Amino acid sequence: MSEFEIYGGDTQVVATRQEITRVATQLHQVSDLLQNQIHLGAMFSNPIHFAQTLIEMETLVASINVVRNACHAAAESYFSTEAQIHHIFSPLEPVPVSWLSLGVIAITDPISLVMPAPAKATKISGSGLALGPTNLATLADRIKQVKTDKPGAIRIEEYGATGSKTFVVYLPGTQSWSPIPSKNSLDLQSEFKALAGANISVSERATQDALDKAGVRVTDKVVLVGFSQGGTIAANIASQRQSYDVAGVVTFGAPMNTVEIPKGIPVIALEHTNDIVPLLDKDSNPLTKDWVTSQNSSPWHIGENPFKPHFLNSYLLSAKELDVANDSNVTAMRERIFGDFEGEPAKVSYYSLEQK
């Protein structure tokens, strides 16, 4: 079994790296301020008091410095991945990935920046039935099924016969790698546009159309599950105020941490440390009680496809291992997202995402 590095999701965690750094900086300022209060003139006017103050001040400053260094150590311990990503992408540091994506779009499809292509979703199958997911492997497997059986489509599960309902949306990754936009909106153009920001990609806007046609109402909840581009779409949708309630996000191998998902929305992110795709956004995921990240190295050998760690099958294997590991934070976050309808029957529909 792979060794997982899991962080976030702990209700005791209330600080981000920025917050830890801010506190450490303030402690440093307090230390300087205290030391500046010692004036040589006081040594002559009241030498005994000066000596006492000096001894106490040295002890106090030393204590402050211990706490300040502990802050830095904690930040590095929690966010060591960030340093690795920074090293890999240091030549690109001045240019955020969203700007790079916009640059690619400006070269390959400039008209779409001012005249976005119309997007639509078409229901392509009648209703089927399924039971609510009980683990992460089920989520990855359902993404795999829709990708294999219905290319260019997404899967929507509807839970609850009366009153408020919950919808679970399964979003596959990129399926067309041509730089020219294709009818299948899960293409390379949508990949770049999803990375550039919310409400830009055809695939994201077509997903919203699918939710409208599935009958999602103001009182309903929506859970978004995505792989690769699908995970970025999920994060983009969750980051924006919607007419419905976004009840959770689960992603596999998705660059998404530069997207600001509002507090209160539970997130589970599975990433492979040897998968380049989740590193595209360069930063590590937030360390908050609403966001749990699981990282492990996917099996890969010299001579194999270098993108194998990004394959959905690789993430399916890791999801199975993570389910067996039964980490308390991952389990608690999964319960927050799926606990109300685990094992319950659902109506299943598929929608093709297209650009007109």
pLDDT at 10 > cutoff 60: yes
Q: How far apart are the first and last CA of the chain?
A: 46
- What pLDDT is recorded for position 82? 47
pLDDT at 169 > cutoff 90: yes
Distance, C-alpha 150 to centroid of its chain: 26
Q: Are 354 and 120 in contact (CB under 8 A)?
A: yes
- What pLDDT is recorded for position 85? 44
Query: Quick one: average pLDDT of 319-338?
Result: 94
Q: What would the pLDDT profile of 267-286 be if each residue is shown by its tens digit?
A: 999 999 999 888 776 567 88
Q: Is 165 exposed, middle or buried (0-12, 13-18, 19+ CB in 10 A)?
A: buried
pLDDT at 238 > cutoff 80: yes
Q: What one-character-per-residue DSSP string does 191-241 give? A: HHHHHH-TT-SHHHHHHHHHHHHTT--TT-EEEEEEETHHHHHHHHHHHS-
Residues 6+ apart with CB under 8 A from 260: 239
Query: Quick one: average pLDDT of 120-129?
Result: 82
Instruction: Point out which residues pair with 222 in neighbouring strands.
Output: 167, 246
Q: What would the pLDDT profile of 280-310 be if each residue is shown by its tens digit?
A: 765 678 888 999 999 999 998 888 898 999 9
Angstrom distance (rounded) from CA 131 to CA 108:
43
pLDDT at 342 > cutoff 90: no
Instruction: Point out which residues pair with 267 in neighbouring strands.
Output: 249, 291
- What pLDDT is recorded for position 214? 94
Evaluate if pTM is beyond 0.85: no
- What pLDDT is recorded for position 355? 78
pLDDT at 97 > cutoff 60: no
Residues 6+ apart with CB under 8 A from 74: 20
pLDDT at 104 > cutoff 70: no
- pLDDT range class, residue 166, cuts 50, 70, 90: very high
Q: What would the pLDDT profile of 125-155 be if each residue is shown by its tens digit?
A: 766 788 999 999 999 999 999 999 899 999 9
